[in-house]
């Protein structure tokens, strides 16, 4: 039996954060981050965090060392 999805999601999120740290000069969209997280999921049926969650979570993970720009509607 595999790991629960939430552990798979957490692992994928942390790998996405590692990617973000390695590419700190690159501007990425929230959709880019969701797509990157999707690529790190291992379990069938696992889904990346949603756009709104991804937008909030790195701010909590990195405190003030990350800036999320608002796009035009």
Contact (CB, 8 A) for 12 and 46: yes
Q: Does residue 69 sit within a domain? A: no
Q: Between the CA of residue 33 and those of 13, 21, 22, 55, what are the distances in Å? A: 9, 12, 13, 9
Task: Evaluate whether residue 35 is within a structural domain.
Answer: yes
Give 2-27 pLDDT, tens digit per residue.
444 589 999 999 999 888 888 877 77
pLDDT at 43 over 60: yes
For residue 39, what pLDDT is reported?
96
Q: Is residue 58 part of a domain?
A: yes
**If you search the block for the tokens 């291992």, which residue do you land on?**
42
pLDDT single digits (tens) 45-59: 899 999 888 877 765
Question: Which pLDDT score is estimated for 6?
Answer: 87
Domain boundaries, position 57:
5-62
Q: Who contacts 39 (Cβ-Cβ below 8 Å, separation ≥6)?
A: none
């Amino acid at each position: 039996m595999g790991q629960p999805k939430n552990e798979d999601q957490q692992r994928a999120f942390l790998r996405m954060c590692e990617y973000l740290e390695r590419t700190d000069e690159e501007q990425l969209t929230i959709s880019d981050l969701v797509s990157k997280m999707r690529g790190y999921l291992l379990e069938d049926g696992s889904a990346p965090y949603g756009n709104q969650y991804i937008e909030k979570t790195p701010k909590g993970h990195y405190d003030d060392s990350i800036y999320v720009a608002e796009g035009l509607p």
